[in-house]
Structure 1
Amino acid sequence: MGFLDIKSVTKSYGPVEVLHRVDISAEEGEFLVLVGPSGCGKSTLLNMIAGLEEITTGEIAIKGQTMNGVHPSKRNIAMVFQSYALYPNMTVGQNITFGLEMHGVPKPEREKAMSDVASLLQIEQLLDRKPGHLSGGQRQRVAMGRALVRNPDVFLFDEPLSNLDAKLRVDMRTEIKKLHQKLGTTIVYVTHDQIEAMTLSTRIAVMNGGYVQQLGTPKEIYDDPANVFVASFMGSPSMNLIPARVVDQNGEPHAKIRLEGGKTAQLRFSDPGLAAHSGREVLLGIRPEAITDPEGADRKSGNIQTLHNVVDVTEPAGSDTFVTTTISGKTCIARMRADTDVRAGAEVAFAVNMDKAVVFDPETEKRL
Structure 2
Amino acid sequence: MGFLDIENVTKSYGSTEVLHRVDVSVAEGEFLVLVGPSGCGKSTLLNMIAGLEDITSGTIAIKGQPMNGVHPSKRNIAMVFQSYALYPNMTVAQNITFGLEMHGVPKAERAAAMDKVADMLQITPLLNRKPGQLSGGQRQRVAMGRALVRNPDVFLFDEPLSNLDAKLRVDMRTEIKKLHQRLGTTIVYVTHDQIEAMTLSTRIAVMNGGYVQQLGTPKEIYDNPANVFVASFMGSPSMNLIPAILRRKGAAAMVEITDATGAPVLLPVAVDQGADGAAVLLGIRPEAVTDPDGADKKARNVVLARNRIDVTEPAGSDTFITTCFAGKDVVGRMRADAEAHPGEMAELALNMDKAVLFDPKTENRLR
Residues 1:314 and 2:319 are matched in the alignment: no
Contact 1:252–1:272 (8 Å) recurs in 2: no
Deviation readout 1:197-220 (Å, 9 max, x if unpaired) = 000000000000000000000000
3-state SS of paired residue (1:260): coil
The TM-score, its normalising length taken from structure 1, stands at 0.98
Aligned residue runs from structure 1 range 249-328, under 5 A: 249=249, 252-269=252-269, 271=270, 273=272, 277-328=275-326
Q: Distance in 2 between matches of 1:82 and 1:131?
A: 15
Shift in alpha-carbon separation, 1:75–1:272, aligned structure 2, 3 A:
closer
For 2:141, the equivalent position in structure 1 comes to 141
3-state SS of paired residue (1:94): helix
The letter for the 2-side match of 1:30 is E
Contact 1:312–1:345 (8 Å) recurs in 2: yes
3-state SS of paired residue (1:362): coil
The gaps in structure 2 that reach 5 residues or longer are none
**CA shift for structure 1 position 272:** 5.5
For 2:93, the equivalent position in structure 1 comes to 93
For 1:22, the equivalent position in structure 2 comes to 22
3-state SS of paired residue (2:341): coil
Contact 2:248–2:275 (8 Å) recurs in 1: no
Which runs of 4 or more aligned residues in structure 1 lie more than 2 Å from their structure 2 counterparts after TM superposition?
248-251
Q: Distance in 2 between matches of 1:279 and 1:360?
A: 14
**CA shift for structure 1 position 306:** 1.1
Q: Distance in 1 between matches of 2:212 and 2:275?
A: 28
For 1:126, the equivalent position in structure 2 comes to 126
**CA shift for structure 1 position 277:** 2.6
Contact 2:262–2:326 (8 Å) recurs in 1: no
Q: Distance in 2 between matches of 1:291 and 1:222?
A: 16
The letter for the 1-side match of 2:226 is A
Percent identity, aligned pairs only?
75
Q: Distance in 1 between matches of 2:294 and 2:99?
A: 55
Contact 2:34–2:188 (8 Å) recurs in 1: yes
Q: Distance in 1 between matches of 2:66 and 2:193?
A: 31
Contact 1:321–1:337 (8 Å) recurs in 2: yes
Of residues 253-262 and 351-360 in structure 1, the stretch that sits farther from structure 2 once superposed is 253-262
The TM-score, its normalising length taken from structure 2, stands at 0.99
Residues 1:192 and 2:192 are matched in the alignment: yes
For 1:178, the equivalent position in structure 2 comes to 178
**CA shift for structure 1 position 250:** 6.8
Q: Distance in 2 between matches of 1:11 and 1:249?
A: 49
Residues 1:153 and 2:166 are matched in the alignment: no
The Cα RMSD (Å) is 0.9
3-state SS of paired residue (2:33): strand
The gaps in structure 1 that reach 5 residues or longer are none
Aligned residue runs from structure 1 range 99-118, under 5 A: 99-118=99-118
3-state SS of paired residue (1:52): coil
3-state SS of paired residue (2:141): helix
